[in-house]
Amino acid sequence: MAIKNSKFESFLNRILDDWEQQVKLYEPCVVLSKNEKHSFRFMFATGDAISVTENPPKSVIFSIPFSTMTGIELIHDTATFLQKDLQNIVQHVLIRHTHRTTKKLAPTLNLPTAPEESAHTTKSQTSIVKSVLNLLTKKKSEDFGSATSLRSNASSNYNSNNNSNRSESTEACETLSTQSSSSLSRAPSGDLGVEEIHFYILNETSTMYQMLRVLWKSYMLNATSSIGIDVTSTPTKSSKTQKETTKVLFSSLKEDLISAYKRNECVEVIHKYFFELQFIAKEKDSIQHLFWRDTELFILCGQTLTRYLNQQTHDVNERADEIECMVLVVEILAKMLHQTEGLTACHKVLQTCSAAFHANLISSLLHEHLFPPSLTMSENMMELVDEYNTAATDVLFHLMEITAQVSWNWNGSKDPDLTGQKLFREIENHSGLRTFIDRIVSRCVRIWERNTDGSVSGSPRSVTSLSAHEPLSGADTVTIYRMLFVLHQCLLKCKPLARHAPKYKEEFRYFIRNDTETSKIPSSYPCCSMVLEMLKNVKFLVLGENV
């Protein structure tokens, strides 16, 4: 648990826009590196960097972008440079990083990247001890304009979206904390020098090491997913008025959505409101924090899925509309669960919801028959099922990630209600699990065979030489990773499914082949080693041999 420091939080408030949303964790620490000789500092972690400040905090001395990091390791040793009563409260974290020039932490800060020479004199060992004993004594923000204009834009986009093909589903990520190793690393790209920085965190209950592992992996997945996507927008600082406008907008939409659900409005109206929610969530990062302020919208999403899954609709077109709305709801859930490391409000909402609610949500995600079994499935119907399962895999991935963090990232007054053990118990007992996993494997094969133009070469049983060695897009690489992660976790923790694993030997031996892995997942992709390692783990469980 982090030790609260009001002075440091005031400092963060001065230098960052919405620091509580950006900063995942901060801790006092002693820094040892080429340029820092046992200096007493503060460190804080955001979604894309570790930053180090003076003590007392006056400015940021340097930052280490996650894009330059090559390894994180927890070292079990004794900080002999501290007095004896402090040596046992220290956690020693080693960060390895390259010297590449990267983006700065925030547009409002002029942060030198490590390991630039500090302009400040290093403190002596005596000063460090005195400081320790006295220890307890705005990244991306875009102008929304008015709430009316944004909702108008959402409605306009909704109407144009309905007149065109549906956009591709959102796809999803893994947690570090489920790995047993106490170190994590990736090979540096190119011939770059690697520097080591040692952080001695002065808090024996700190979760900084676990948080850094999760944040770094999340960053690598996001960086891979955005390859080939134009993200050149210039972040701007939000004014107080703009923040209030966003809150008013969100509250208005939330009220309309809940009211429409209670009135049992037609599926077109419900879909329209959910589309608006998805639209503004893409435009404004703070919507995620507003979503998790209470349980209302999360519960509404679950109830909407349950309502339409249980709907006895015989008209094919009407049923397709209901499933399309369900796809949208599940995509929103995935968006809201994405990158919730350090977001206490999200964890509290998940733990507040009842066991029955979580069971219904898992049942909805693993639902076996979205269309009545008696219907002959058209290509469009199969596409809808595919979209739903892809989005559902997203949500399951994030739930697995969050519940794996409960052991070190939960500080509630009572034991958590939603844990990894309870989550997998619900998954294991669901009758549709095998069908769901079959669809995941089939989807993985089809993505693996996809050409760079997005087309698929033939059926899942006809791999052509043209597509066999073409690299996957960044987004498809992340999708493959998330699906493999869900598959791996289910095979490990759901015994009945483990007995079903040999069924997939053909897919992983002849289609997702060893000789295509390095060409399909280029080493230039930030998450390359993660994907290849997960693929190796899955093949071991499926093929029953070392690969």
Where do the structural domains in the chain lie, given as residue ranges? 6-139+186-208
- Which has the minimum average pLDDT: 66-70, 172-176, 475-479? 172-176
- Which has the minimum average pLDDT: 132-141, 261-270, 357-366, 478-487? 132-141
Cis link prior to 502 (omega < 30° from 0)?
no
Predicted confidence (pLDDT) per residue in 258-303, tens digit: 999 999 999 999 999 999 999 999 888 889 999 999 999 999 999 9
Q: Over pLDDT 90: what percentage of the chain?
A: 56
DSSP letter (8 states) at residue 88: T
Predicted local confidence at residue 89, as pLDDT = 87
- Highest mean pLDDT of the ranges 73-87, 224-238, 265-279, 399-413: 265-279
Predicted local confidence at residue 111, as pLDDT = 42
Q: Name the 3-class secondary structure at 433.
A: helix
Predicted confidence (pLDDT) per residue in 18-58, tens digit: 888 899 999 999 999 998 999 999 999 999 999 999 999 99
Q: What share of the chain is helix, strand, coil (3-state, %, to 5)?
A: 50, 10, 40
Q: Between 128 and 35, where is the model more confident?
A: 35
Band the pLDDT of 92: cuts 50, 70, 90: very high
Predicted local confidence at residue 412, as pLDDT = 63
Predicted local confidence at residue 281, as pLDDT = 93
Predicted local confidence at residue 149, as pLDDT = 58
Predicted confidence (pLDDT) per residue in 451-470, tens digit: 544 455 444 333 334 456 78
Predicted local confidence at residue 357, as pLDDT = 95
Helix 240-262 and helix 147-162: axis angle, to 10°?
50
Q: Please answer whether residues 466 and 455 qualify as being in contact, where contact means their C-beta atoms are separated by less than 8 angstroms.
A: no
Predicted confidence (pLDDT) per residue in 313-365, tens digit: 888 889 999 999 999 999 999 999 998 887 889 999 999 999 999 999 999 99
| Mean pLDDT score of the chain | 81
- Which residue spans within 54-155 are E strands per DSSP? 60-65, 69-75, 91-98
Strand order in the sheet with 39-45: 60-65, 49-53, 39-45, 25-32, 194-201, 91-98, 69-75, 183-185
Distance in angstroms between the alpha carbons of the first and the last residue of the chain: 40
Q: Please answer whether residues 279 and 154 qualify as being in contact, where contact means their C-beta atoms are separated by less than 8 angstroms.
A: yes
Predicted local confidence at residue 467, as pLDDT = 57
Predicted local confidence at residue 363, as pLDDT = 95
Band the pLDDT of 222: cuts 50, 70, 90: very high
Q: Between 99 and 133, where is the model more confident?
A: 99
Residue type, 513: R
- Highest mean pLDDT of the ranges 99-108, 335-344, 453-462, 472-481: 472-481
- Highest mean pLDDT of the ranges 118-122, 160-164, 228-232: 228-232
Q: Between 52 and 167, where is the model more confident?
A: 52
| Distances in whole angstroms, Cα of residue 372 to Cα of each of 171, 310, 313 | 26, 11, 9
Tokens 């592992």 belong to 213
The pTM is what?
0.81
**pLDDT tops 90 at residue 12:** yes
Query: Considering the domain 6-139+186-208, what is its CATH architecture?
Result: Roll (2.30)
Predicted local confidence at residue 279, as pLDDT = 94
**pLDDT tops 70 at residue 119:** no
User: How far apart are the C-alpha atoms of 253 and 283, rounded to whole Å?
Assistant: 15
Residues 6 or more apart in contact with residue 241 via CB below 8 angstroms: none
